[in-house]
Each structure stands twice: as structure tokens, then as C-alpha cells.
Amino acid sequence: MKIGTTLLGVYLVVSPILLGPSESLAQEPSMALQAKTADAVSILSKAAQGRARIIVQYRIPASPARATIGTAEENLEAVIAENQTIQDSILSAHFGALPPLTTADRGLTRMSITPAFAINASASEIEALANDNRVVAIELEQVYSPRLIQSVPLIGMTAAYANGATGNGWAVAVLDSGVEPNHKFITNPISEACYSTTQGTLGSGGSLSTCPSGANMSTAAGSGTNCNISLDGCEHGTHVAGIAVGSNTQFQSGQPPYGIARSAGLIAINVASQHTDADCTSNQKRSPCVLARQADVGAALDRVFSIRNTLPGGVQVASVNYSYGSKQLYSGNCDGIPISAITVAIDRLRSVGIPTIIAAGNAQSRTQIGQPACISSAIAVGSTSKTDSIAWYSNMSTQVAVLAPGGDDSSTASGMILSSVPAGYGCSNYTGPAPSTGGSYCYLQGTSMAAPTVAGAWAALRSAVPNANFEPILAALIFTGQPITDTRSGGSITKPRIQVDIALRALQLGGLITQTWDFGSGNSSTDAKYYWQLVRSDDSALNLKCLSRYGQPNPDCTGNAGAFKAPEGYKICASTIYMQSTGIPEPSTFIGALQDQTRQHAWYADFGNWAQPLSARVRFVLVRTTFDIGCMKDFPVFMCGVGANNRQGCTEVQLGGVLR
């Protein structure tokens, strides 16, 4: 939706599908149906008006093919074939012959990998599905609407580019309203698809496909092209894609030179379906408009998973961007019904290191965000202004992972985000030169613009540090970000606005910034008593010392000390300490102790006749000093070495909590 003419918002519609002969007033749900959905009453209430649009999840038996998902032996053809066989069996048992099910009255949408499908079903059919032992969950299909580059230097991309973080060799999958392929700001997509369902009656919960030739799905060339610009929301995907991976091949003054990952590839997937009348206006959009159906989004996520290892030129998928969502808000996670099928698909992508980055929504909430951003395995993104305040429209909650510039028109239109739009989109706030083909540019704002900033940043980081996977990149973006506190009335949550150049620095130093000190050797023929002490003298400094048992300098330690000082403005958040001996192959046992009041870690070790130098490697995360995340609690310690009397072993000591 748009607030005024600028803000792209996101809302949820679950409307009755008025199809087929009307059934009697809603019946009481059976125990079987109640066991498989939390929405039993709502589902039957909608079905009583004709048919309800549902997503059916089912059980797939363990198989050799399923066991290989995400491994080097993955056989997706076999996985997809197994899934389709079970789908066919369930569909034919409850709905009859398959071909008619793809027509508008049924609107069948099949997921290729996730064990689920969407269909319009009557109350009796829904109850029969609930009594099918293969079916594990039934949910109402959700419908999402769009949440609608000066931000490039703000998040440190200029310095990141200089250090190789351009996105080259990686791609961002944009699940949206399609992309204008001829725009000079957007490289032609390296892969395209469309998942858009024709079903029901327009204006009463029904939708019309925007795929080529009106098909419900397509992976042909051109299938990812933006939908007809006369539909409200069809500019959205082109704007989002430009933010994530834009690169201006005909730059003129006044135009944006780059998106975030300027050399990354684009996977354009259109998931938008046409809606009309109340389905649009109830989402604060003009009619006719485009919204995205949940099952189409699930099918698109399966598509990303299936092509991740087969893109041209060896390009790999860095991230998925989804800038749509609901007006239904959650303060915690929403992993279960009514969006459990989407959760399964997002979980699967995360298991192979691909994040699904989702806009938190524009309902101005200080404590809640929309779905599917609230799924715990997704990365929810809130929006900031270009002056580092929470944007007036942005949702916030503890579920938000990071913030990024999404624009704020509180002062002028230039406070919004400038990016590409297709030809025919009327934009009154951009008066600069247009590219030779493909449309123009426009200032827009919303968490829709913040999410692709993060998706592009993820691709940029993968290109510079290709071995960094999901968790290290997420940790780097969180712990190195600029903390922004929600100072709006009723706001209090602090979250990090991503700072890509500093995150890159952390990742290039091994995921966590690493410092190593070498110590001298024990040269006595008798047992050498060593007392190793790591002292954090303040929040920004570490000192490592080799002392005698009684805390005095130990003459047997010739290397004796080392120190690390965090850069100005940062504190040391967490560390991992590795003790090892150079030249001795077997591990030794160190006895660990923690002295909380002095913020010290100390080990006493009896080495016997030790004649080898020791080294200690200390790894730690740096965090801005203004960002309070309880760093003093987090000191995981690992101690290994060779002890007296040939004692061997390795001890892990978890000192006070986990890294957050």
C-alpha cells in the first residue's frame, strides 16, 4: 500500500472464496480438523460461503532421496518426484482427476519440494482431508501486499567496494512483482520464474495470474518481467531489485550510480497476482492491484532452493529478498500455523546458508512486526531514516534482526530511497534524467526498501569472504552495526543499523577478529608451575600474562605478555581462548577458573619437564560501545595441551551464557 503517494505498506487479506454451490451455515469443526489447524472455525466459516482457500501440508516418509537434501549427494529430481507422487495421491483421493484442479474454481498451487499444496475446498472436503492420516496441517492461505541511493555510502559500501565486496559471483533472489529487464539500472536476470495463481472471483478473495499467457507458473525466459504497470504495486519489484543489485550503465548526474551489491546477479521471481475492489482497498491500495498469495511464495522459495547449484557461470545464491507481508502483527515468532508451510521453506534455505530477508512492515508498531517476517529463521528488517533514526512508519520488535535505510519523508522527498521504476509508472518526486530504456527513477520509502539493502549487503559480503556462511555474516552485521534506539512515543527497542565495511573487516579477520600471542618456553628440569591469566582491564582492552603460581612474573616465560586494544568506539564483547603448545602433538589439560569481579580468566597448569614454547590465541567480537548487549556474560573458553605424567585431554569451559 501507499500512505499518501510515497509509503509502500503491507497488509493481510483472508477473504472467502465464493465458489460453487453454497453450503449451509458453518458447521462445528470435528476433532480431527481441530487437531490439524488452529483456524478450524474460521476455515469452516469461509467454506460455508462456498469454498475456502487452504494450504494442506502432508507427511512424506523418510527416503534416501530426502536424506540427501542439502548435501553433496543431493538428488532434487528424485525429491521432487517423490513429493509430486504423494501430492497426486492425496489430490486424486479427495478431489478427483487432476487436470481440472488448475482452473479458477479450484486454483491448485503445488509446491515442488515443500510437502504442501494450496486449493479451494468445500467444508466436507476439508473435513475429509483432516481425517487423512497423511495430512499433518491445514491452514488458511495468507495474501500479502508490498511494503513499500544515498543509503549506499551511509552503510559503508564505498569502503566495502574497495575491499572486494561488490557481489560478483553471487545473486540475490527478489520475490516480488517482477522486474523491468530493460532498465539501465538493472542487469538482465540470470534466472526468472513466475508463480501467480488464477482462482476464485475477483473482488471476493479471488485472483488472476500475472504470469505470461495467464499460466499459474512459468520458468521461461521473460517470466520474471514486471506485471502490468496499470496494476497498483507492479512498480515495486523493479524498485526493490535496483536497491539490492542495481548498477547504472548510463549514469547521469541526479541518478543513483549503484545499488548495494553492484556486481551481483539477479534472480527475478514474480509472485504477484491481480486483485480488485475491496481486496485492494482494504489493503490501502488502488484497485486493481497486486498481492502475493502465500502458496505462490512457498513455490518460489522452493524454486530458489532447487536452482541454487545450477545457475549459469557458477553463480551462487547469496540471499532471498521478500518485501511483502501482512497487517496481522506479532510480538514474538510466528513459526506455526497459519504460515507453517512458509516456515518449512525458509528453514530449508537457511540450512544451506541462504537467508530469507523480509521487511518488518509499515504499521508503525513499536513492539510487533508482520508475517512472514516474524518467522524465527527469517531475517526481519526494520527501517531507518538517512539520518539514523527509526523511520516513522517502521514496525519494531525484539524479532527484528537488523535495521537498514528505508527512507523517511518527514522533511523532504529526498529523504526517501531513489531507485528504478518501470516505464509507465507515474512519479512526481523525481525530475532528473531518465535512462534510455526501461523506465525511470523514483523516491519511495518503506521497510520494502530496507530489506533489499540487507539482501544486497549479504551478497556483497559473500563475494569478499566467500567462505563465510550464514551465522558469521549475521553475527558480523549485528555486532558491528550502528545501534539505533526507537525514540518514537512508546518506543524503546535498540537494534543495529548495518555497517557493511566494518562487518567486512570482522569477517576478513576470520569471522571473529583474531589476535595471537606467543609465550616463551619452560626451561627448568623440574616441574614448571605456570599461571596463565587473561585480564580484560576494561571493556576495550585485553592483557594476557604468564605468571607464577602466586601471581608474580614467571622467569620461565620468556615471551611473558601480550595486549590488544579495541579500536576507538568499540568494546570487546566475547572471546574464545585457545591454549596450545608448539611442537607437541598431543593435547594437554588446563585447569580453568573464572574470577568474575576482576573480569579475569586464569589457568594453572603443571607441565612437568616442559621445553616447548606455548602460544595462546584469543578470538573476540568487537561491538560499538554505545550498543548494550550484555557483553560481559559471554566468554566461552577452550583449553587443550599436554600435561605432566602424560595426562591428555581437552576441556571446554562455557563461562556464563552464550553469545547473543
Q: Report the alpha-carbon distance of residue 307 to residue 90 in Å, rounded.
A: 27
Query: What is this structure's pTM?
Result: 0.78
User: Would you state the pLDDT for residue 338?
Assistant: 64
Q: Report the alpha-carbon distance of residue 409 to residue 194 in Å, rounded.
A: 33
CB 261 within 8 A of CB 452: no
Query: How long a stretch of residues is the chain?
Result: 660
Strand partners, 51: 17
User: Would you state the pLDDT for residue 113?
Assistant: 95
User: Would you state the pLDDT for residue 541?
Assistant: 64
Q: Report the alpha-carbon distance of residue 561 to residue 565 in Å, rounded.
A: 14
**Residue 85: partners with Cβ closer than 8 Å, 6 or more residues away:** none
Listing DSSP states for 171-199 in one string gives EEEEEES-B-TT-TTSPPPSEEEEE---B
Q: Which three cell numbers stand for residue 526?
A: 623440574
Q: Which three cell numbers stand for residue 607?
A: 607441565
Handedness of CA 328, 332, 336, 340 (dihedral sign): positive
CB 28 within 8 A of CB 110: no
Domain ranges of the chain: 6-142, 145-508, 513-655
Q: Report the alpha-carbon distance of residue 51 to residue 278 in Å, rounded.
A: 19
User: Would you state the pLDDT for residue 152?
Assistant: 84
Q: Supply angle C-alpha 332, 283, 412, rounded to 5.
A: 90
The class level of CATH for 145-508 reads alpha beta
Q: Report the alpha-carbon distance of residue 389 to residue 351 in Å, rounded.
A: 33
- Chain Cα centroid distance, residue 460: 15
Q: Supply angle C-alpha 631, 632, 638, rounded to 5.
A: 95
Q: Report the alpha-carbon distance of residue 366 to residue 393 in Å, rounded.
A: 10
User: Would you state the pLDDT for residue 98?
Assistant: 81
User: Would you state the pLDDT for residue 638?
Assistant: 30
User: Would you state the pLDDT for residue 546?
Assistant: 52
The C-alpha cell 509508472 sits at 425
Q: Report the alpha-carbon distance of residue 456 to residue 451 in Å, rounded.
A: 9
CB 539 within 8 A of CB 624: no
CB 134 within 8 A of CB 56: no
What H or E segment, with its residue span, contains residue 565? strand 561-565
H-assigned helices in 29-75: 31-36, 40-47, 64-67
Going from the first residue of the chain to its last (660 residues), give the mean pLDDT of each consecutive group of 10, the final group possibly shorter. 36 32 62 91 91 94 90 92 96 88 89 95 96 95 72 88 95 97 92 97 94 94 96 96 94 92 97 95 91 96 97 97 92 79 94 96 95 94 95 95 92 85 93 91 95 98 92 83 92 93 79 40 35 54 53 49 65 51 35 29 36 44 57 34 31 26
Q: Report the alpha-carbon distance of residue 413 to residue 205 in Å, rounded.
A: 35
User: Would you state the pLDDT for residue 576?
Assistant: 44
Residue 56 — φ and ψ, nearest 5°?
Answer: -110, 125
